[in-house]
Amino acid sequence: MSPIGRALSRVGVALAAIVTIAACGGGEGTTLYIGGVPDQDLSLLEGRFEKLAEYLSQETDLDVRYLPSTDYAAVVIGFRTDSLQLAWFGGLTGVQARLAVPHARALARRAGDERFHSVFVAPPDSGIESITDLRDRSFSFGSESSTSGHLMPRFYITEAGLDPEEEFAAVNYSGSHDKTWKLVEAGAWEAGALNANVWETRVKAGVIDLSKVDAFWSTPPYFDYHWVARPDLDEVYGEGVTERLNAALLDLDAGRGGIQAEIMDAFQADRFIPTEEDNYGAIEQVARQLGIIK
């Protein structure tokens, strides 16, 4: 099945997740819900976003709460249906969200998100040293909606002249970056691609057995993660709410310690900085080229 067909087959799963989200409700001006693509282990994400919701509540006098999701598509759908009002998207999902919600606004990103990378990993003794060595090997992407776990790795695989569905032994979608390296480390898949930040963080933490899986190639840089806000926040929650939320995000500073340091450490950065929609034009172009966005 093609990546697009596989993605469509999972719409029912995403919609089921949204039923739960929608029951919590947005758009009544009482509680503002934030969310983010589930790109890492869920326990790590819960700590990250729960602390951020607490901070945003304190800084804006709004009731801000975090709604978790186990599926990238559910976060985009939640944003489209107004079940989520502010979301941390990857490059691809951010483009999809803004296409689904005209005039949605890209607010902030980390400095490193303008030079993001994907890494390709395989066992050191596998004989895989380049993308072309992946022919006839089994390969795991992350989520089908992931920029660093699928879109950009697939782009560079096709640039190398390979068609994963035709020339790899098998293709898998793990669902998250942590699952990808764990699958390769366990020997379930011969190679994979994932977010370079996640990879480097896990290597530094010493949780990866580098005798079983290591990086053999890193992509050139591209724009990736960013915050996106719905266009009707001021209308629903009060005049100036969008700017108050944006100011609170941009005011976060790891150097201040306390909850601010905890939040930014969880986001693997010192600060958020402003961003704009034009930064993600190349991501949209690649997604259209590969048929992921029509």
Residue entry with tokens 């480390």: 185
Q: Among residues 157, 161, 153, 144, which one has the least CA distance to residue 71? A: 144
Quote the CA–CA distance of 160 and 156 in Å, as a whole number: 6
- With 0-12 / 13-18 / 19 or more C-beta atoms within 10 angstroms meaning exposed / middle / buried, residue 135 is middle
Q: In the CATH hierarchy, which top-level class contains the domain 117-218? A: alpha beta
Each domain of the chain, given as residue ranges in start order, spans 3-113+223-289, 117-218
Domain 3-113+223-289: which CATH number of 3.40.190.10, 3.40.50.11440, 2.40.110.10, 3.30.70.120: 3.40.190.10
Q: Among residues 13, 5, 3, which one has the least CA distance to residue 73? A: 13
Q: Please say whether the beta carbons of 137 and 233 come within 8 A.
A: no
E strands in the chain: 31-36, 63-66, 86-89, 105-106, 108-110, 118-122, 138-141, 170-173, 191-195, 214-218, 226-229, 272-274
Tens-digit pLDDT profile for residues 153-206: 999 999 999 999 999 999 999 999 999 999 999 999 999 999 999 999 999 999
Q: In which residue ranges of the chain is pLDDT below 50?
A: 1-28
DSSP letters, 222-259, are B---EEEE-TTHHHHH-TTHHHHHHHHHHH-BGGG-HH
**CA dihedral of 228, 232, 236, 238, whole degrees rounded to 10:** 80
pLDDT at 12: 38
Kindly give, in sequence order, each residue whose CB lies less than 8 Å from that of residue 125, ignoring residues fewer than 6 positions away. Answer: none
| Fold: same for 3-113+223-289 and 117-218 | yes
Q: Please say whether the beta carbons of 69 and 208 come within 8 A.
A: no
Q: Which residues of 204-220 are buried (b: 16+ CB within 10 A; e: fewer)?
A: eeeebeeeebbbbbebe
Q: Which helix (H) or strand (E) holds 285?
A: helix 281-289
pLDDT at 173: 98
**CA dihedral of 71, 91, 195, 43, whole degrees rounded to 10:** -40
